[in-house]
Amino acid sequence: MRIALLARAHAGTLAVLFALSALACLLVSGLPRATQGAYDRALREALSAAPAVQADLTVAGESRSPREDLRDPAAFAERERRLRPLLPAALRPLVAAGHMSAKTSRTPVTGTGGQTYVNLGWLSDAGRRVEWVAGRAPGAPSTTRFRGQTIPLFEVGVVEEAVRQMDLRVGQTRTLGESDFAAVRVVGVFRAKDPSDRAWGHDQDLLHVTKLQPPGELDFEFHTTTLISDAGLAALSGEARNLTYRWVLPVNARAASAMSVSEVEAGVAELGRLLTLQATSAGPYRLETGLPKLLGDFAAALTTAQTVMYLVLAGLLAVALGVIVLGVRLLTDRLDQALALARARGGSLRQVAGTGAALTAVAVGPAVLAGWALAGLVPGPALPVAHLGPAFVLVAGVGFAAARTALAHRAPLHERRGDGAAARPSARRITVEVLVVVLALAGAYLLRQRGLSAAAGLDPFLLLVPIALTLAAALVTARCYPYPLRLLVRVAARGRAAVPFLGLTRAARARAAGGLPVLILLPALAVSVFAAVIADGIDGTQRLASWQQVGAPIRITSPIEIPAATIDRIRATPGVEQVVTAQTGRVQLGYASESAEALAVDVAQWRRLLDGAPVALPEPPRGGSALVSPELRGRGTLDVGWQSRVKVRVQGVAESVPGFARGGKFLVLPMTVLTRPAVNTLLVKGDVAPEALARLVPSGAVESQERALAAIRDDPLTGAVRTTLAVVTAALAFYALVAVVLSLVVGAADRARTVSFLRTLGLSDRQARRLTMLEVLPMVLVTAAAGLALGLGLPAALGPGIDLSAYAGDLPVGGYDPGLLTPAALAAGLAMVAVLGAYAHTALNRRRGLGDALRAGDLS
């Protein structure tokens, strides 16, 4: 047959099929690219935001004797050249050029009683990273005499902070050690050229003085690491002190990919194993890194994101294929008479089926290429599904056209009666459908009972249960929705009006093919409502998490007391409505070493400040009583050491306090129990910029609920989930509307013949419109109700399988309470399209002559 002639004759239907196929391919190919790109950005931001000591790989070794010492930078470089080949293949693209260091630890200053420690440190790239603000750079070491023996004398540079806090001045000489001595002479003072350089994350001991309070001691220890020259390595030995060599292999976050997280985790474990097997003169190596934990946390959040994405994308693909199948069915119905004539004239079944498949390929083939090409413009890596999805659309569309044409025309001059009763379903079919329903319900129950699989990666059980539930709901709806209509038919039969009886009768006697729109509409509505419910749940929990983090619209915290005059200026700032003062600190419980976090605040005022917020505060403590965390319950009376000794009675238990504590040991006291409150926290309500308050409290840190919410929402992984859910919701709503329109068009010929017959009996145009609506609306409304119910119930049915806390400020997303806007809009949209389609169909049918319609019906 001439494909070009048939294509011109059915250009409108082919255009619709082209648009549906192109959109489907764009979505199933573009959305995975976009989401994977977001996953990659999220991983890169997580690695970039993490401290360098956690994200980077550091190979460490210790020297304990002169034969293990590395005496010059060349020895370090040679050792690094040996280490690089040990990197597994998954790590090599991630590891960039790093630096090396040699440092002593816990090197006491002689005569300080272990209160002052000055360590020696060497950096391979010190010339690039530091600048000298006083004195000069260290030179070669020499010797000096101390207690009758010759000891090495190192020229060192110290950081500016050590000059202020440890009284280390240029020209000063200090002796180190308690038995094996060495001396250092301060010849210069340095600072970091770029303190934000990630490399300093490994060398914070060089930039800052560390203050430590040993257990049971009242005094602090002061530690600093000085900088020696390359020549100083010749005199630096691990024989008499703790000497550690490190080779820092920084991880390039920009080269990270979410697809290779598991391979990188395995590579880190393999590198650690290989390092322990290396036998060198410097002793065994060890790997120091927090990368596995970072990747593990990210992988946990990624698994949930991928699960939700696969759920909604699988539903989108199924619905898109269903709509395409409905479009192909419309095309094959239009070809029915031409193919029947060709079959009657001697055409083979292969030729007839090939014609249907070829004509479908004329529309679907270019559409698949166009959608796939447009998806290539979406930024993100091309996953296999980005190529397999469009190919599956092409095979499904063309294959359905060939199969349906072959089945319809397997015998020449086939005849189908429109007045015959529909065949009863076989026992085998009913058994299969019942089995599907039972398995779906059992799967949902088991998923709630056992939760997710502990194995890494996606849990197939979680992906199969929603599909089974949707299929079961569609089967039940398609099988059962004619029965309540038959009851309505009996009621309508008692009335005098013929239109309700005829319309409901046609709806109740829909053929088995009429169930195809149900199988499309129900998943479309269920998945779109599910996506909307999940998005609403994430949005509400994100807002709750932001209030939990801050505890007020604006919170100001200061390490020192905020003066009363400053508080008065804040109260007088335009836009400020309310200010609640508070004091926080760590207090001693009893007279032992037990301690807890304490908050002194007027809880009643705080509750008024939070009026209308989604967080709730406990009832305020009365008198001198306190609220305590669950770990402190049952204490009766607490002796609290805070400014002075205070005894408070435990009044109640608070699981958490917004903006203050979510766990651990804590207590909430009234401000009146303090002898002289030293306010260091302000809770502010009003329409005022946080920057304006920050200028009034230079020593304070200003946090706002709006900023906390923006930080949660701006996470790339969270943004990917929210964006994909929104796109899928809109796409499925569109497909649901298209399915309604196509279902009207597919049955248009049969409906036109019926209306034409009835018009010869006096049916008016108004009655024809009502008849069409009564025929179509029951299927739409029943399916919409079932789809909405399933979509609202899926989050609860999946239960522990969906843990979205990673996208909601680490708060569990549960108790989904969606608004009625989305379900009402979807149901109203479908009903409106059905009504408009009925009116349009009646209007178009009115233009046709009664003779044309009847002759067309007679030919069939």
- The pLDDT tens digits for 751-768 are 777 777 777 777 777 777
Q: What is the mean pLDDT of residues 615-625?
A: 77
Q: What is the pLDDT of residue 247?
A: 93
Q: How far is CA 83 from the centre of its chain?
A: 36
Q: Which residue has the higher pLDDT, 386 or 185?
A: 185
Q: Rounded to whole angstroms, how far apart are CA atoms 257 and 43?
A: 7
Rounded mean pLDDT, 580-602: 86
Can you name the residues that pair with 29 across neighbouring β-strands?
A: none
Task: Please state which of the ranges 68-72, 428-432, 504-508 shows the lowest mean pLDDT.
Answer: 504-508
User: Span 178-200, mean pLDDT?
Assistant: 91
Rounded Cα gap, residues 737 and 319, in angstroms: 12
- What is the pLDDT, as a whole number, of residue 857? 45
Tell me how far apart the alpha carbons of residues 638 and 640 are, in angstroms, rounded to a whole number: 6
Per-residue CA distances from 229 to 8, 141, 407, 561 (Å): 84, 9, 87, 44
Angle between helices 460-480 and 291-344 (to 10 degrees): 40
SS3 content of the chain, % helix, strand, coil (to 5): 55, 15, 25
pLDDT at 340 over 90: no
Q: What is the pLDDT of residues 781-803, one digit of tens each?
A: 788 888 888 888 777 777 556 66
> What is the average pLDDT across 658-676?
85
Question: Is 230 or 774 the better-scoring residue by pLDDT?
Answer: 230
Section 697-715 average pLDDT = 87
Q: Please give the helix or strand (H or E) that residue 210 lies within, else none.
A: strand 210-212
Which residue is it, tokens 């000085």?
A: 226
Q: What is the pLDDT of residue 856?
A: 46
Question: Which of 632-641, 770-779, 840-849 ranks highest by mean pLDDT?
Answer: 632-641
Over 70: is that where the pLDDT of 282 sits?
A: no
* Residue that wins the pLDDT comparison between 526 and 195: 195
pLDDT at 775 exceeding the cut of 80: no
Residue-wise pLDDT for 429-459, tens only, equals: 788 888 888 888 888 777 767 655 544 445 6
CA 431 – CA 747 distance, rounded (Å): 30
**Chain position carrying tokens 């599956």:** 392
- Closest CA relative to residue 158, chosen from 206, 202, 199: 206
pLDDT mean over 250-271: 90
**pLDDT, position 120:** 95
Return the minimum-mean-pLDDT range out of 143-152, 181-190, 348-357, 369-378: 348-357
Q: What is the mean pLDDT of residues 816-826?
A: 66
Closest CA to 712 of 548, 529, 530, 534: 548
- How confident is the model at residue 820, as a pLDDT? 63
> Kind and range of the H or E element at 176?
strand 173-176
Position 599 pLDDT exceeds 50: yes
pLDDT band of 464, cuts 50, 70, 90: confident
Measured CA to CA, the distance from residue 536 to residue 546 in angstroms comes to 16
- Average pLDDT over all residues of the chain: 82
Q: In this model, does residue 860 exceed pLDDT 50? A: no
DSSP-derived 3-state class of residue 158: strand
- Span 365-372, average pLDDT: 92
Contact (Cβ atoms closer than 8 angstroms) between residue 394 and residue 51: no
Name the pLDDT band for 416 (thresholds 50, 70, 90): low
Helix (H) or strand (E) holding 776, with range, is helix 765-798
What local confidence, expressed as pLDDT, does residue 859 receive? 40
| Residue 513's pLDDT band (cuts 50, 70, 90) | very low
Position 452 scores a pLDDT of 55
Residue range 674-691: mean pLDDT, rounded: 88
Bridge partners, 145 (sequence order): 150
* pLDDT top residue among 77 and 823: 77
Between 601 and 467, residue with greater pLDDT: 601
Most confident of 370-374, 737-741, 830-834: 370-374
- Mean pLDDT comparison of 345-349, 393-397, 511-515, highest-scoring range: 393-397
Q: Is the pLDDT of residue 199 over 70?
A: yes
| Cβ atoms of 189 and 160 closer than 8 Å | yes
Q: Which range scores top for mean pLDDT: 280-294, 363-377, 626-640, 829-843?
A: 363-377
Reply yes or no on whether the pLDDT at 156 is more than 90: yes
What predicted TM-score, i.e. pTM, was given to this entire model?
A: 0.75
The CA-based angle 198-199-204, given to 5 degrees, is: 95
The confidence score (pLDDT) of residue 525 equals 79
Residue 474: name the closest of 742, 708, 779 by CA.
779
**19 exposure class (CB count in 10 Å sphere: 0-12, 13-18, 19+):** middle
Q: Is the model's pLDDT at 483 over the cut of 90?
A: no
